[in-house]
Amino acid sequence: MNTEPNKIRLEHLSFFYKDFQALNDINLEIRPQEIFGLMGPSKSGKSTLLTVLNRMCDLIPRVRVEGKVWLDNEDILAPDCDVVNLRRRVGLVLSKPMPLPRSIRENLVLAPRLAGRPHQELEELMEKSLQAAQIWEEVKDRLHDSALKLSGGQQQRLCLARTLAMEPEVVLLDEPTSGLDPISTAKIEQTLFELKKNYTIILVSNNTKQIARATDRVAFLLMSQIVEIGDTHRVFTVPKDKRTDDYISGRFG
């Protein structure tokens, strides 16, 4: 029985890199099947927050986490949490699209293969993921070409597709359109909109226009703290906090 209405809930989450506090007492709820936006100037803690959600932060030496993060009803910061399984449920698309230097196909089947999916499911899973990431039509005739031959926007969508091939429940995206042209950006935003039906999506961006266009709810982070949380439309039309107003109207950030 699942009484938890939220997909992810953060309670008093704080995060330290050595003596630098990157997150300060974050409380946040993320609902299933929404696109949740995290915006804020660089170094405000957005990316750090993502790395906590699938425990990629474990890879960084000398960090400390306090507080609780619940995924459904499971405490993912608990020492007995199965981290590998968590990362399969909460897929992270890194900010720099970096496919492995192999064929498009191999990039896609890597994750399901690691998860031990049977051989005959791989092809179908690959096609489904590439279609969901809106890149199937562009690559279907050259699946055996190197993934590095793709353009930046295509590589970004390929990385999204290979995350989707894990069939995660939550997809974390860290600046998925930084460095992309408007057409590729529009394609990715369109993709996210389609994906919302099946996944919970957290989108980190310091492009406020994108947050306004693409997300349902948004949190504004500043100096490791949450300044404001709310429906995107409301936050962008009547911000409660002066600092949010300043940020979205471009007075700093």
Partner 1 sequence: MDKGKFVERVLFLLALSSISSLVIITIFIFEEGLPLIMHTGLKDFIFSTHWAPTKGFFGIGAMIVSSLLVTLGAMVLGVPLGLACAIVLAEFCSERVRRLLKPTLELLAGIPSVVYGFLGVIWLVPLIRDHLGGPGLSLLAASVILGIMILPTVISISIDALTAVPDVYRDGSIALGATEWQTVRRVVLPAASSGIITAVILGMGRAIGETMAVIMVAGNAIKLPSSVLEPVRTLTSNIALELGYAAGRHREALFATGIVLFVIIMVLNLSATLIARRR
Binding site for partner 1 (CB under 8 A): 54, 56, 59, 61, 84-85, 87-88, 91-94, 96, 98-102, 110-111, 114-115, 159, 162-163, 166
CB of 46 to partner 1, least distance (A): 17
DSSP state, 250?
Answer: T
CB of 85 to partner 1, least distance (A): 8
Cα distance between residue 31 and residue 241, in whole Å: 23
H-only helix segments in 72-219: 83-89, 104-114, 119-132, 136-139, 152-164, 182-195, 208-214
Nearer to partner 1, 163 or 244 (CB): 163
Nearer to partner 1, 40 or 99 (CB): 99
DSSP state, 245?
Answer: H
CB of 221 to partner 1, least distance (A): 21
CB of 88 to partner 1, least distance (A): 4
Nearer to partner 1, 61 or 118 (CB): 61
CB neighbour list of residue 26: distance below 8 Å, 6 or more residues apart: 10, 12, 13, 14, 45, 49, 67, 225, 226
Nearer to partner 1, 115 or 223 (CB): 115
Q: Which amino acid is at 174?
A: D
